[in-house]
Structure 1
């Protein structure tokens, strides 16, 4: 199994989209790469902790490659906008790819380079090692499953 952590604005939609992909075996939402330990949602929303809202993804590499998974990710974000996705504005809504294994970096960079060809503006999606991940509160986990019709700016069609 492999793991990757993706930031694409509001984490509810990113999780709902990713968990629909064949080969994804686990998802959970949380906060990554900030400077406060175990932050709350309210703290993250203050833009004072440095965290991004993220979706942790565990996937079976025999069923889906990191490259294909990232192709799905690029479809649901606007990688040229900084600190905003859809109507959600703030540094916690930035886009990012946070990796735990250095060997994934080449695939991530190549994926970004392929996507850049589609845009006139520069891609601003962060690509960084995962420094810290904290689970979001339980009410955020699988939010759109628990709340069908809940807010989501992402087109959830695979």
Structure 2
């Protein structure tokens, strides 16, 4: 039986982050949802207001023998812009902040190391939050597996496709 690990992070719209991470070898599951806020089980319409304190995140279960937490966070940090505060592209608000929610001290240390490793790739300072994981709430079903179910949608073609293409170019050896 494989030993799976869990990672939780967000970098803008969860549809984008989900689409990128799903394509990696060693990923068992990816769930879109909400974390880092102050109300229980928030609905999407509330999170979108920015008043719940939640970020749109994904929760990933992965096989660390196939993909390490280090590689997962490195790919995450290079698949979105970790230097823009509370926004990714046209998505603006605290719900779209860049955030890594670590599940243990080892994940915290690895994330800090990755932040240092990717600093030279960006002109501006990294603003990704690093906080202990507390709770994850699944997003509604229509938000799960969004890109794969809606590849022809305009948002998917304009916003998500370029991220998936960048992933294919930069990390071909890590893809399914």
Q: Distance in 2 between matches of 1:19 and 1:78?
A: 19
Instruction: Report which stretch shifted further, 3-12 or 117-126.
Output: 117-126
Query: Post-superposition shift, 1:75?
Result: 1.8
Which structure features the higher share of helix residues?
A: 2
Query: Post-superposition shift, 1:104?
Result: 1.2
Query: Which deviations, in whole Å up to 9, do the C-alpha atoms of 1:15-39 show, x marking residues without a partner?
Result: 0110100011110000001001000
Instruction: Report which stretch shifted further, 118-127 or 4-13.
Output: 118-127
**SS in structure 2 of the partner of residue 156 of structure 1:** helix
- Moved segments of 4+, more than 6 Å: none
Query: Which deviations, in whole Å up to 9, do the C-alpha atoms of 1:38-86 show, x marking residues without a partner?
Result: 0000100111000000011111001011111112111211111001001
In the alignment, does 2:126 pair up with 1:123?
yes
2:78 is aligned, of 75, 85, 95, to 75
Taking the TM superposition and a 5 Å limit, the aligned residue runs for 1:51-130 are 51-130=54-133
- The two structures have a TM-score, normalised by structure 1, of 0.96
Q: Distance in 2 between matches of 1:35 and 1:83?
A: 17
- The two structures have a TM-score, normalised by structure 2, of 0.86
Structure 2, gaps ≥5 residues long: 168-176
Query: Which deviations, in whole Å up to 9, do the C-alpha atoms of 1:80-134 show, x marking residues without a partner?
Result: 1001001111110000111112221111100001111222321000011112210
**SS in structure 2 of the partner of residue 148 of structure 1:** coil
Structure 1, gaps ≥5 residues long: none
RMSD of aligned residue pairs (Cα, Å)? 1.1
Query: Post-superposition shift, 1:148?
Result: 1.5
**SS in structure 1 of the partner of residue 72 of structure 2:** helix
How many equivalent pairs are there?
A: 158
Q: Distance in 2 between matches of 1:7 and 1:82?
A: 13
1:156 is aligned, of 149, 164, 169, to 164
Query: Post-superposition shift, 1:6?
Result: 1.2
